Chains A and B, each alone.
Chain A
Amino acid sequence: MVKMTEKGYNITIRKGSLEQKIHVSPGTGLWPILQKSGLQLPGECSGNHTCGKCRIQLSAQGEVEFGWGEKDLLGEQEVRKGTRLACFIEVNQDLGVTLPEDRMANILLEGYSQGDKQESGLQEERALKGKSALKDRALGKDNQVYGLAVDLGTTTLAVYLVNMSKGTVVDSCGSLNPQRSYGLDVITRIQHTLQAPPMIKEFQSLVCTGLNRIISDLAGRNKVAMKEIRAMTVVGNPTMLHLFLGISCASMARAPFLPSFTDSRTVLARELGLAINPLGRILVYPSISGYVGGDTLAAVLASGMGEEESLSLLIDLGTNGEIVLGNKTGLLSCSVAAGPAFEGMQLSCGTGGVEGAIDNVNLEQSPPYTTIGGKTPMGLCGSGIVSVVAELLKHGILEPSGRLKKGEEIQSFRGNQLLDGLICRNGQGAFLLAEKADIYITQKDIRELQLAKGAVAAGINILLSELGVIAGQVERVYLAGGFGSSIREEHLISLKVLSTEFKGKTKSLGNAAGQGAILGLCSEEAFNKVENLKDKTTYLELAGLPKFQEVFVENLAF
């Protein structure tokens, strides 16, 4: 028998000004090819044909058939534009593939201000100049010691370049977490590692590659040689820390959600292939439980609440939500499934914090919104959604139960001026914010937000009750993460996420986890405080509490 040599095909992938040419065997799926190319492609379902986001433009000589369900996921408009979904395509001829360019993500890096001499600022400066074993070991011949403080978020990676000798943050940079194409949330990523254990290494590799790109950027633009970077602290939620170290998260995926480890860990840069001095030490912060991690402890450190007599509350809502209540005597923590809605995800016109996202709404102005970067509106992000709901409540267009009123029911003057905004979309009531861009919020979107805010409010209430205190006794409410810095206190109170007793008590910490990572990088004393905080923080598993459902339901209304 004559052996037929396998014919292969040429694929040219373009993204912006970047181009890659590869040769592949017939029948290879396009999605895995694009994943391997390293050019980031949107998508959250790991190519499982459910999210409809891996959109590309295709050019081919012959016809490329649509996959079953592809057109439905794309929608008429996109199909007409010629858009295709990469996950449905198999290579059976030469192809030209164009990927959409990335939108600039509004990654939260602020939170540390070098020149900030107020209360905590002064404390941090002192801390940064403190003694540090990390720093001692890292001392280079020119006495300039550089280190990195890294915040591994489920959605974004944030890195701070720190001059450890001077105790100053030189620069910072962030990017989206490349693990996202395999799932937006930790559970989905854990699921992948359960179905295919080699995925643990893949996730580890993805995050380290992502970090290396950022490190290379930071080092390059600050003229610091990679080998001068000799230390790194890493904070993140437990799943991110497990995957970073290549450790199995199997037990975190099901009740009672136990992590494989919670203690702090130290590894050498070369063990993880990180692009800093190979002998540089990577210090991974400790965690509290399967769902309250080093990032929360770092945020608590940055807030200083673990050293104060007065009672404080810390809320860190990123992709997952952690809440901590306490003071120097002790702390209680819990984790809530709040994520998607507050971040603008899974909503009709929801989007992340990118350019063009509507981030604030004021129905008394025209246009009634502002967008990130001042660009043309393309969606609603978390703070935008919270503000539009607050405004709809204020003008009597939305009932406190969460029901959108019909035109004839609206009584307020301003409400009646806004009647044109009440429309029908997807078979239900909705409110239109931007007509040309067709951006609206539906009744179901509002219900999604209620579920999210019910969970957070319930978490806060249960912690207060378990500690035997009332809201009025809390002196400070620290808001950490992207949520805290972009969502206004007045809106959180309008939506009853926070009770009115917290009015005037909130303080936005920005990227508190990042700040905490910086503190521990420069000062041993600061890092020891983190270890101490871990010892005096108790975790409360809400899922097991019989009263959770009742408190949750009680907190659904606005």
Chain B
Amino acid sequence: MEILKEISEALQNGEAELVEAKIKESIASRLQPEEILIQGLLEGMGVVGQQFKNGEIFVPEVLIAARAMHAGLSILKPYLVETGVQPVGKVVIGTVKGDLHDIGKNLVGMMLIGAGFELIDLGVDVSPSKFVEAVSQHNPDIVALSALLTTTMEEQRNVIKALEEAGLRDKVKVMVGGAPINDGFARTIGADVYSPDAPSAAEDARKLLN
């Protein structure tokens, strides 16, 4: 569909108003909301993710594209609900206790939404008990933890422990990320996967659902 390609490109260029207009047009043309979502918006974010990963575009471009994505989603949402389209999964995300860094986490959040997930963002400086509370309340498929300092990365371990103690560890998958984090650390603390960047996090999240 030509118009779906146009939506994808408009999103990649961060043209929020054009995205909105094209989505309204697609709805009027009786295209399926799910198709518009997947082949228009998610397709566009997928390209953004790849280009960000190889350095062709950078943080500002991703943020602008994400803004266009959000604009598109607000228009599309009621139609998705009407036709019973579900997100591919649900993720609870947050930056751990003692850490205030959120740009990385926000980029991961955008990529996850861009991959079709529903996102619950707990913000920064989030305690283990708050993560546990969010898991009980929202029943996510995945919990994603961000930490940017070697001094706060230990908190990721504490969150996993807290989930174990609450008997919730086996109900979710745990993803971790942040500058000082690596595979070895993720394995040591019992996380399911370590993602080195936002686009990889979205790919890893999809894989975790299987």
Contact = CB atoms under 8 A, between A and B. Distances in A.
Which of B57, B103, B149, B152 has most A Cβ within 10 Å?
Answer: B149
Nearest to B125: A255
A187 B100 contact: no
A549 B58 contact: no
A187 to B, nearest CB: 5
B134 to A, nearest CB: 20
Contact of A543 (B57, B61, B101, B150): B101
A556 B152 contact: no
B57 A254 contact: no
Interface in A173-188: 183, 187-188
Contact of A447 (B58, B103, B151): B58
Interface string B93-109: 00001111111001000
A130 interface: no
A366 interface: no
B55 interface: yes
A428 B54 contact: yes
A255 B98 contact: yes
B56 interface: yes
Given A255-B99, A443-B56, A401 B61 contact: yes
Contacts of A557: 60
A443 B55 contact: yes
B63 interface: yes
B32 interface: no
A111 B181 CA distance: 39
A253 interface: yes
B149 A187 contact: yes
A443 B61 CA distance: 15
Contacts of B57: 401, 403
A282 to B, nearest CB: 28
Given A427-B54, A556-B59, A557-B60, A549 B102 contact: yes
A428 B53 CA distance: 10
A552 interface: yes
Nearest to A445: B55
Contact of A443 (B54, B149, B152): B54
Contact of A402 (B54, B58, B100, B150): B58
B182 interface: yes
Interface in A508-558: 543-544, 549, 552-554, 556-557
Interface string B145-182: 00001111000000000000000000000000000001
Contact of A254 (B58, B99, B103, B184): B99
B63 A553 contact: yes
A553 B106 CA distance: 12
A488 B168 CA distance: 56
A35 B16 CA distance: 57
Interface string B57-85: 11111010000000000000000000000
Most chain A C-beta atoms within 10 Å of own C-beta, residue among B55, B99, B103: B55
B55 A254 contact: no
A552 B99 CA distance: 18
A428 B59 CA distance: 17
A191 interface: yes
Interface string A385-411: 000000000000000011100000000
Contact of B151 (A194, A444, A544): A194
A424 to B, nearest CB: 11
Contacts of B149: 187, 253-254
Given A187-B149, A187-B150, A188-B150, A553 B56 contact: no
Interface in B86-129: 97-103, 106, 125
Contacts of A429: 55
Contacts of B125: 255
Contacts of A87: none
Contacts of A287: none
A166 to B, nearest CB: 46
A183 B150 CA distance: 11
Contacts of A253: 98, 149, 151-152
A50 interface: yes
A187 B86 CA distance: 43
Contacts of A427: 54
A194 B149 CA distance: 13
Nearest to A194: B151
A554 B56 CA distance: 18
B55 A428 contact: yes
Interface in A239-288: 253-255
A180 to B, nearest CB: 15
B103 A549 contact: yes
A425 to B, nearest CB: 12
B150 A556 contact: no
A552 B125 CA distance: 20
B98 A553 contact: no
Nearest to B56: A403
Of B99, B150, B184, most A-chain CB atoms within 10 Å: B150
B100 A544 contact: yes
A223 to B, nearest CB: 45
Contacts of A300: none
B59 A553 contact: yes
Nearest to B102: A549
A179 to B, nearest CB: 15
A450 interface: yes
A188 B150 CA distance: 6
A190 interface: yes
Given A187-B150, A188-B150, A254-B97, A552 B58 contact: no
A444 B55 contact: yes
B56 A543 contact: no
Nearest to A404: B55
A255 B149 CA distance: 11
A255 B63 CA distance: 26
A537 to B, nearest CB: 22
A250 to B, nearest CB: 9
Contacts of A446: 55
Interface of A: 50, 183, 187-188, 190-191, 194, 253-255, 401-403, 427-429, 442-444, 446-447, 450, 543-544, 549, 552-554, 556-557
12 contacts: A50-B182, A191-B150, A253-B151, A254-B99, A255-B98, A401-B61, A403-B55, A403-B57, A549-B103, A553-B60, A553-B63, A554-B60
Given A253-B149, A403-B55, 18 more contacts: A50-B184, A194-B151, A254-B98, A254-B151, A255-B99, A401-B61, A402-B58, A427-B54, A443-B54, A443-B55, A447-B55, A447-B58, A543-B100, A549-B103, A552-B103, A553-B103, A554-B60, A557-B60
Interface of B: 54-61, 63, 97-103, 106, 125, 149-152, 182, 184
